[in-house]
Structure 1
Amino acid sequence: MTKKYDKEFKMQTVRLIQEEGKSVAQVAREMGLHENTIYRWMAEFKQDGSQAFPGSGQLKPEDKAVRDLQKRIRDLEEENDILKKGHALLRQRPALIYSFIYDHRFECRIAKLCETLEVSRSGYYKWTKRKESKREKRRKKLERRIRRIFLDSRRLYGSPKIHKVLQKQGTKVSEKTVARIMKELGLVSRTVKKYKATTNSKHNFTVFDNELNQQFQVLAPNKTWVTDITYVPTDEGWLYLASVMDLYSRKIVGFHMDERMTKDLVLKALERAYMQQGKPQGILHHSDRGSQYASHDYKARLKEYSMKGSMSRKGNCYDNACIESFHSVIKKELIYLEKFKTREQARKRIFEYITCFYNGKRIHSSIGYHTPNQYERLYRFAS
């Protein structure tokens, strides 16, 4: 026999939990109710407040009319929701409609789904028991691969990069198919588009000519380096990041972080790049006109390392586009996605991002969808 409880009973039960601090399990045990029943009451009360439980208790004829109208409204809203989600499938094969019903079986009633999408319940249940076709198996395998690549990219890759990774793995599929599957699976890149420049070019230091001249395609590693500074917000204040990129592999060969944007910040980043890359000679070093890079100490270090200086033209953001692009990427993929309480926390996350993810796992379209470390190794193997 189905038990029925009036509105007052349900509301008192919910308030007992909310105001007395009793757990759902305890109340269910004491009242002899199923826990799911109480959870359902709580959800309805949270959604509608004082208007919750309109059909509970003994109803007058006029109340029954209201209840029936409310039920019809809910049915229409449910049907409308189903039609919105399933519109693209209405003209497709029944198997696709059955798949849609299966995917949304916990959101809407199966009977209502079948009725709205004009398929039989018996046909749907028969479909759930059939064996998967080879095509369906291939599709599910592709979905798993796409999801794995997406998660492995830290939920940052869009369909173009996932398509390229699949190609490298030997999976033949179009980019449009990848994009469609990602949309169906709800896989959306979580990058945030924000960026702002930092360095100050208003100073009295002499500057180098623009020797790079936007020649961003380089034939070998350790021939051309570009460098720049960006900022990282934390609850403790700004943290500044100076980075050095090898234009051949797009690898960040050196970087340093500090709470002050001084010449020591950029000197340390350059020193690390020079040492970590094996003290290469004859490098063309390009930067913007910031005072840190134009300082006497920095120029002396370039001379010590046998590097030739180059600087962007005044007001031309494209002359140093590659390293600025990296700083834009790290902001979109890390800095603006997290809130750092301390500078130390930011340092740890940025270090891990650059050394492990950016250099080691993130593919780049400009180098044939390889990672910087891979592209550098390919050159070494070919030499």
Structure 2
Amino acid sequence: MKKPVYDEAFKRQTVQHIKESGQTVAEVARELKINDNTVYGWVKKFGTDPEVVAAQVFKSDEHQMREMQKRIRELQEENEILKKSDALLRERPSVKYSFIHEHRFEYRLEKLCIVLKVSRSGYYKWRCRPESEREKHHREMTEHVRKAYEESRRLYGSPKLTRQLNRQGIQISERTVGRIMKKQGLRSRTVKKYKATTNSKHALPVQDNVLGREFQATKPGEKWVTDITYVWTVEGWLYLASVMDLYSRRIVGWQMGERMTKELVIGALQQAYGRGRPDPGLLHHSDRGSQYASHDYQKQLLTYEMIGSMSRKGNCYDNACIESFHSVLKKELIYLNHYETREQAKQSIFEYIEFFYNTRRIHSSIDYHTPMEYELLYLNQAA
């Protein structure tokens, strides 16, 4: 297997992730399937990089704001508890304890006891009563569902949570998961929005649609699809070019910048080629945007011995997989955050792609595996 090559942007953002997340170098290296010593070398080289240091300073400046937001959340929490438990304030303690037990994952136990005017020791004593087998099973299933929900960054609905739990050997039906989620107030926090970015009004030559909506591949490095999307920040627009391997749905290359240029998409292609090192003859599909139709980009495809393919004019379905990824990225990350700077957005997107989407997020199109898992399965079978 050819050794992957990583560009400086990837290295720098990996170092920044280590400094901000609190993870060890070994943990990050293990997640990214990179040698420990390689990542240590990146830390040594880029640890004092101005961009990395600036990001750290920016976060420390937000400390006071976070403290204020924490106090606001506490007041909101008390108000929500009072609304839900208003009818229980005059009830006997056992009824209050039952309410506390039911909502102990939704709110802090200490806050529940204070608002309902009962002692924590009384609650613990009540909880020590003998538990029936049915109650025990329901409690265990609720804990499994909540844990899987949090591990998905609170993004999965009941179908994916059910498959994730089944993969872990936990036998539970989608109907039960849905019922638990409803009772616990767990909802997928995605947001739907869409806006097109492609500009195909140019005089540059275009390729035929060789892919023909055949979105399945027989091995990694056989078919790649690519596209550009945008992210709004207070500082201005940030553009993201992504390259996806259709076999595993892994994002093998990406590049971010302030302008939607041919250099942006070439950078994403170069990163993908460096990391994937595909054999000659790979089928590369894009839309008819001027960036992909440019002479420099087409020259790069020839250098890498790739076969070019482009969507038909005005037909977004011809490139549905990569557009679906950008839609998911926005619903699961972009629309749930507010970015003050482009650098803040870059780091957030980098962490989503490399530490969640590629390594942890399961996909129905690849039998509910993660992209990394699916590629490893292929490599093991091939070996």
Distance 2:312 2:141 in 1: 48
- Contact 2:244-2:251 within 8 A present in 1 as well: yes
1:332-378 CA-partner distances (Å, limit 9, x unpaired) = 11111111111111111111110110000100010011000000100
The runs of 5 or more residues in structure 2 that have no matched partner are 1-74, 80-84, 104-111, 118-124
State the one-letter code of the partner of 1:161.
Answer: K
For 1:134-283, what aligned pairs fall within 5 Å after superposition? 134-283=133-282
- Contact 1:78-1:108 within 8 A present in 2 as well: no
Distance 1:254 1:184 in 2: 41
Residue 325 of structure 1 corresponds to 324
Per the normalisation by structure 2, the TM-score is: 0.69
| 1:338 and 2:337 are equivalent in the alignment | yes
More divergent stretch after superposition (240-249 vs 278-287): 278-287
Cα–Cα, structure 1 residues 148 and 109, in superposed 2: closer, same or farther, change >3 Å? closer
Question: How far apart are residue 129 of structure 1 and its match?
Answer: 6.0
Question: Could you say what secondary structure the match of 1:243 adopts?
Answer: strand
Residue 118 of structure 1 corresponds to none
Residue 363 of structure 1 corresponds to 362
- Contact 1:274-1:280 within 8 A present in 2 as well: no
Residue 374 of structure 1 corresponds to 373
Question: Could you say what secondary structure the match of 1:140 adopts?
Answer: helix
Cα–Cα, structure 1 residues 317 and 97, in superposed 2: closer, same or farther, change >3 Å? farther
Residue 44 of structure 2 corresponds to none
State the one-letter code of the partner of 2:246.
Answer: L
State the one-letter code of the partner of 2:333.
Answer: L
Distance 1:227 1:107 in 2: 54
Per the normalisation by structure 1, the TM-score is: 0.69
- Contact 2:100-2:113 within 8 A present in 1 as well: no
Give the total of aligned pairs: 285
Cα–Cα, structure 1 residues 231 and 371, in superposed 2: closer, same or farther, change >3 Å? same
Q: Which has the higher contact order (CA 8 A, sep 6+)?
A: 2
| 1:302 and 2:301 are equivalent in the alignment | yes
Question: How far apart are residue 170 of structure 1 and its match?
Answer: 0.8
Question: Could you say what secondary structure the match of 2:228 adopts?
Answer: strand
Distance 1:376 1:213 in 2: 24
Residue 58 of structure 1 corresponds to none
Distance 2:372 2:140 in 1: 29
Residue 10 of structure 1 corresponds to none
| 1:293 and 2:316 are equivalent in the alignment | no
Question: How far apart are residue 280 of structure 1 and its match?
Answer: 2.9
Cα–Cα, structure 1 residues 96 and 276, in superposed 2: closer, same or farther, change >3 Å? farther
Question: How far apart are residue 233 of structure 1 and its match?
Answer: 0.5
Question: Could you say what secondary structure the match of 2:360 adopts?
Answer: coil
Question: Could you say what secondary structure the match of 1:310 adopts?
Answer: strand
RMSD of aligned Cα (Å): 2.9
Aligned-residue sequence identity (percent) comes to 61
- Contact 1:227-1:243 within 8 A present in 2 as well: yes
